[in-house]
């Protein structure tokens, strides 16, 4: 399950941001997950809850925004927002589409605290 390696990289990124901002605790982690990212949100959440225990994120809440797939059809020039994993244009059924959004996982925001806050 690659969600464990993704969470490991996510927590490492959180620790780097905390260090750069002199924070000692991270209380909230907001991420955006595209439907075509290959990440299973439920497995990612379980992995985060498991691995956060021995990190700066030990009390952090993970918030996930699922990003729908956004495609642009090269034939009819219509931009479509799709919740399923397909690259077929719903307007003209063309396969000649370009993905604009929904393929990646991004760290969007962190809520951090310093000792005494």
List, as residue ranges, the binding site for Ni(2+): 2
Which residues are annotated as part of the binding site for Zn(2+)? 73, 76, 89, 92
Which residues are annotated as part of the binding site? 2, 73, 76, 89, 92
**Collapsed DSSP state (helix, strand, coil) of residue 50:** helix
CB 68 within 8 A of CB 81: yes
The Cβ of residue 40 has, within 10 Å, a number of other Cβ atoms equal to 14
Count of CA atoms in the C-beta half-sphere (13 A) of 20: 7
Instruction: Give CA–CA dist 117/112, Å, rounded.
Output: 10
């Amino acid at each position: 399950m690659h969600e464990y390696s993704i969470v490991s990289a996510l927590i490492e990124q959180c620790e780097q941001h905390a260090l750069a901002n002199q924070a000692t605790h991270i209380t909230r982690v907001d991420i955006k997950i595209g439907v075509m990212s290959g990440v299973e949100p439920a497995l990612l959440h379980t992995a985060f809850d498991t691995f956060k225990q021995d990190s700066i994120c030990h009390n952090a809440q993970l918030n996930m925004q699922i990003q729908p797939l956004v495609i642009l059809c090269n034939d009819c020039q219509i931009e479509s927002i799709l919740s399923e994993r397909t690259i077929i244009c719903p307007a003209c059924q063309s396969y000649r589409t370009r993905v604009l959004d929904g393929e990646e996982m991004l760290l969007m925001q962190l809520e951090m605290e310093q000792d005494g806050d």
